[in-house]
Amino acid sequence: MPAHPRGRRVGHRARLRSKLWGVDTLTGIKVFRQVVESGSFAAAADRLDLSPAMVSKHVMQAEKRLGVRLLNRNSRTLSLTELGRVYFERCKTILDDLAETELELGSLGTAPRGTLRITAPSWFASQRMADLLSEFRSRYPEIVVDISFEDRVVDLVEEGYDVALRVAPDSDSLGAGLIARPVRPISFVITASREYVKRKGAPKSPEDLAGHDHVAVGNVSSWVLTGPKGKVEVAVRGVQRYRAMAGVVNAVAAGTGLAPLPSIYFDEPEFQNVLVPVLTEYYLREATLYLVYVSRRYVPLKLRAFIDFVLEYSSRVPQVKLPAAV
């Protein structure tokens, strides 16, 4: 009896799928995506640790297998064809779904493990952070923490970070496509050293600030303070500028001038009995510490463990107690 037409069609589709998904197809998809995102065969070859000839071969095999041109090539640039763009978007979806599935399956029924990459401001490199990470290590010994302290906003996806600790006035300022979990309020306190106050006196009103030396991150010519009488903008005389908060706090401790500092510094052993708050009835800004990570359907177990731990840890560790103002 002759085969039913529908049966022949099903068999043809199965053979076609088998032809399209050969042994090297997944590798070819990865290579094609990297070529597009890198902008050249040479850059993709360098990132994939392949020869440019092998990268080119994978792309040509994909075009031959599909029967369409995916890339427009000339001596200087590459660009996607219309069909190439469709294929590229589908390739990204396939690879991202595969990566998330492997992460999810790999964590089921197991303890959190792997390397957790964290980025945080430079002034988070403190004893409090060391204590937090030490306790986290005791609870999750199979997670290796790789943390960078730097005063810039990194691209979590592009630079391969799992989570960022960021201080911002609100979650809307942290960017689209990101999840921001509030942890706790962060206060910035106008600060001097005891030696500076002994030498030059402490400001008693915002207007007094004009007669004092100031240290800042970047180029700052004025401060907007909020206090009992609302907001007031005052001019400040900057005498030193730094690229990182760590430089500012050391300059203040050395008696160079005044600066708004995160209150966490008053808890650091090297600055206790050195730094002193001034004008405590005024503050420069209200801010919140956030845990920031990329929005995704599946959160890796190592990241989920860190988020839950930080929220729990912060709920039981008290805010820094400031010394008496002068």
Q: Each residue of 160-208: pLDDT tens digit?
A: 899 999 998 888 778 777 899 999 998 888 999 999 999 999 999 999 9
Find the radius of gyration of the CA atoms of the chain: 28
Burial class (CB in 10 A: 0-12, 13-18, 19+), 65: middle
Specify whether 84 is located in the same domain as 138: no
Specify whether 175 is located in the same domain as 92: no
Domain end call among 57, 86, 107: 107
Number of domains in the chain: 2
Specify whether 121 is located in the same domain as 162: yes
Neighbouring C-alpha atoms within 13 Å toward the C-beta of 142: 9
Tracing tokens 């912060």 back to the chain, one arrives at: 314
Tracing tokens 């049966």 back to the chain, one arrives at: 7
Question: For each of the chain's 326 residues, which pLDDT tens digit applies?
Answer: 455 554 455 555 555 454 444 547 888 899 999 999 888 898 899 888 889 899 999 999 989 889 999 999 876 788 899 999 999 999 988 888 887 777 666 555 577 888 999 999 988 998 889 999 999 999 999 999 999 998 888 888 888 899 999 998 888 778 777 899 999 998 888 999 999 999 999 999 999 998 999 998 888 888 888 888 788 888 888 999 998 888 999 999 999 999 999 988 988 888 988 999 999 888 887 789 999 998 766 788 899 999 999 999 999 988 877 777 77
Instruction: Give the global pTM.
Output: 0.65
Q: Which domain holds residue 295?
A: 114-326
Report which of 93, 94, 113 is spatially closest to residue 103, judged by C-alpha positions: 113
Give the pLDDT of residue 21. Answer: 47
* pLDDT tens sequence across 230-251: 888 888 889 999 988 889 999 9
Specify whether 182 is located in the same domain as 256: yes
| CA 238 to centroid of chain Cα atoms | 30
Specify whether 93 is located in the same domain as 169: no
CATH of the domain at 133: 3.40.190.290
d(CA 203, CA 236): 12
Specify whether 70 is located in the same domain as 194: no
Q: At what angle do helices 25-38 and 82-107 cross, to 10 degrees?
A: 110
- Report residue 176 as tokens: 């689209």
d(CA 169, CA 185): 10
Tracing tokens 């510094």 back to the chain, one arrives at: 265
Specify whether 16 is located in the same domain as 98: yes
Specify whether 102 is located in the same domain as 126: no
Specify whether 183 is located in the same domain as 324: yes
* Helix %, strand %, coil % of the chain (to 5): 45, 25, 30
Give the pLDDT of residue 18. Answer: 47
Q: What are phi and psi of 173, to 5 degrees?
A: -85, 0
Specify whether 130 is located in the same domain as 203: yes
Specify whether 325 is located in the same domain as 250: yes
